[in-house]
Amino acid sequence: MDLLRRKTLSTAKAAILGTGNVAAIGSTVDLIDCQDAQVHTFRLVEFSTPGCTGVDELPVDSALGLAVLGCRAGDYINLSLGGEEGGTVVSRIDDQDLLS
């Protein structure tokens, strides 16, 4: 939880200081899978909501959600799942829902 706390503070600081478009809770992010070049769209949430429709939710208490939190477009995220290495690139961050 310490990592989550640090990332949340860093994300809040970036938003307050206007230091760029960073992924925060409520952001919609596009991730490009480096193995197959597929684009996956997620909305960062505090926790998953059962029965949610539309964009897939990515809770920040998951490994990928925590890795995406605080990222900027163009950031590379190294992943290790089941002994296999891979990666994804944050291609777009949309914070429109946060501004309304």
Per-residue pLDDT tens over the stretch 6-65: 655 555 555 544 445 889 888 999 999 998 999 999 999 988 777 665 668 999 888 899
Number of domains in the chain: 1
Q: List Cβ neighbours of 95 (8 Å cut-off, separation of 6 or more).
A: 21, 24, 26, 27
Give residue 82's domain range. 2-99
CATH of the domain at 79: 3.10.50.30
Contact 91, 41 (CB under 8 A): no
Taking residues 90-96, report their average pLDDT. 88
| Identity of the residue numbered 8 | T
